Structure 1
């Protein structure tokens, strides 16, 4: 069995589209009005971004440990991603060794936690 898509609810759809394009290399495949964007990672995974309903955004919060994790092949890629993140205007702690990997955590898009990790040091 293979996970092929995920629907992620966001507060600002245009911001999320640019975020995933510029930082993670996703391509916009289709946009349905101002409510849904379908994106592809080029490796068989589809990310669907849905605009959070107006009446939900005041109570919007993903659970504390919810996060999106991305694996890269080298520690250098984690460091380069950290530089790209900083240039994009998103602050984060520096990457560090933890739980067997070289990892960067950061928060973006209204409080969603992201992880970029390399396990091959």
Structure 2
């Protein structure tokens, strides 16, 4: 079984879509006004970004420890990602560091969501 897609509820479709394209190199597959944007990475994972308010729903909030994690192959890639965030004026509270079995960077972005970029020690 392979995970095909995930729906992430956000407050601003444009901001979220631009963020995933600029920061994580996703590409836009489809956009439906301010309601839905569908983006995909280079590994055939699809992320559906939806604005629940556009469908008459309430704003979404995620639990405190909810996060979105990405794995990269090397510690150098984590460092380069940190530099990419700095260039985009997205300032993590601290730089990458060794956490558990990996070298990780945590930061908050769109709607305060927590993101992780990690290289596992192999």
The TM-score bracket by the shorter chain reads: over 0.9
Measured at CA, do residues 109 and 52 of structure 1 come closer, stay the same or move farther in structure 2, by a change above 3 Å? farther
**CA contact 1:71–1:117 (8 Å) conserved in 2:** yes
Deviations 1:19-61 (A, max 9, x none): 000110100000012100011112111000001316623xx42
**CA contact 1:73–1:120 (8 Å) conserved in 2:** no
* 1:1-121 pair list within 5 angstroms: 1-53=1-53, 56-57=58-59, 60-92=60-92, 93-120=94-121
Q: TM-score, normalised by structure 1?
A: 0.92
Aligned residues: 119
Where does structure 2 lack aligned partners over 5 or more consecutive residues?
Answer: none
Q: TM-score, normalised by structure 2?
A: 0.92
Write the distance in 2 (CA, Å) between the matches of 1:72 and 1:91: 20
**CA contact 2:101–2:121 (8 Å) conserved in 1:** no
Deviations 1:68-109 (A, max 9, x none): 000000000000000101111111111000011000000010
Would you identify which runs of 4 or more consecutive aligned residues in structure 1 move more than 6 Å?
A: none
